[in-house]
Amino acid sequence: MASSAPPTSTGSAKVDAVAQEAVAATSQLSGLQLYSRFAFAGAVCCSVTHGALTPVDVVKTRIQLDPVTYNRGLIGGFRQVIQKEGAGALLTGFGPTAAGYFLQGAFKFGGYEFFKQQFINQLGYETASNNRTAVYLGSSALAEFFADIALCPLEATRIRLVSDPNFASGLVSGFGKILKNEGVGAFYSGFGPILFKQVPYTMAKFVVFEKVAEQVFRRVDKSTLSDGAVTGVNLGSGLIAGFAAALVSQPADTMLSKINKTPGLPGEGTVSRLVKIGKELGFRGSYAGIGARLFMVGTLTAGQFAIYGDIKRLLGATGGVEISK
């Protein structure tokens, strides 16, 4: 739902100005028209960036799952995969990656805009602006929870394909094989760790992006910048946000790769499997592949925010409310 008209005055000239701009921005698009555009922009930016970085993700996952063999870093890992399996192996899991993150991106970015607006509606502009970090964190956490419900089955399929190249020929066959042999529950065996990974990741991603962009626009009037310059700010802010998000979520990312590699033992629950994997990994092991992941997450997050902003602008979906000061 688009924002309702703010009160005549909140007592703060700056917040009043933001509120008036928000109402003007949402006057053309509202409701489903507006949020479907947010969702589409998010779906495209996540699918394109994650799909393009499939080779990096393949190497990163191999390092996490078999650090003894793949112990030569990111570049060395590329060479090892190509020497053993050919260049085509670097695209293993491209199908579930592109499809999964298309769905996840729609829920993540569209949901973030939706829940942020709901917080603003409930709190009012001034309160939301004064407590904007909490609004960013709460909105991103809620959006990511629903996004992970959509992502989890495809992420489980991707990891199985990457960890065992002989498991299946692609997305459809791999998905069907897991469903037939292990049941629906196998797709969500990693739901706990994926929440543990993705929720802090997304919270860090959005709040750091918002804060970095806010600092930039405090020094430079956004209205005076060209579209290209705004895209540049989105790229830079997204890169910093990506580094922060990667560091926060790396241990859970490693555990997710481990838990999806093989089925659990009979009667073994997800929590007990996580505890066992955590003990086996230790702190150092949980950060295996961090170099590859910093490069991957920093790059894709920068790309996501740049693409997201550009698609929103092209679609006329400029109704997202900015509550930064």
Q: How far apart are CA 77 and CA 70, in angstroms?
A: 6
Mean pLDDT of the chain: 84
Residue 168's region, left for phi above 0, alpha for psi from -120 to 50, else beta, is beta
Summarize pLDDT for 56-86 with one digit per residue, the tens.
888 887 887 788 888 888 889 999 999 988 9
Under the banding of pLDDT at 50, 70 and 90, the label for residue 236 is very high
Q: Can you give the residue ranges of every domain in the chain?
A: 32-315
The pTM of the full predicted model, rounded to 2 decimals, is 0.75
CATH topology for the 32-315 domain: Mitochondrial carrier fold (1.50.40)
- The pLDDT tens digits for 130-186 are 999 999 999 999 999 999 998 888 888 888 887 787 888 888 888 999 999 989 888
Residues 6+ apart with CB under 8 A from 174: 96, 157, 160, 161, 167, 168
Find out whether 292 and 56 touch, Cβ atoms under 8 Å. yes
Contacts of 221 (CB under 8 A, 6+ apart): none
DSSP assignment of 199-229:
HHHHHHHHHHHHHHHHHHHHHS-GGGS-HHH
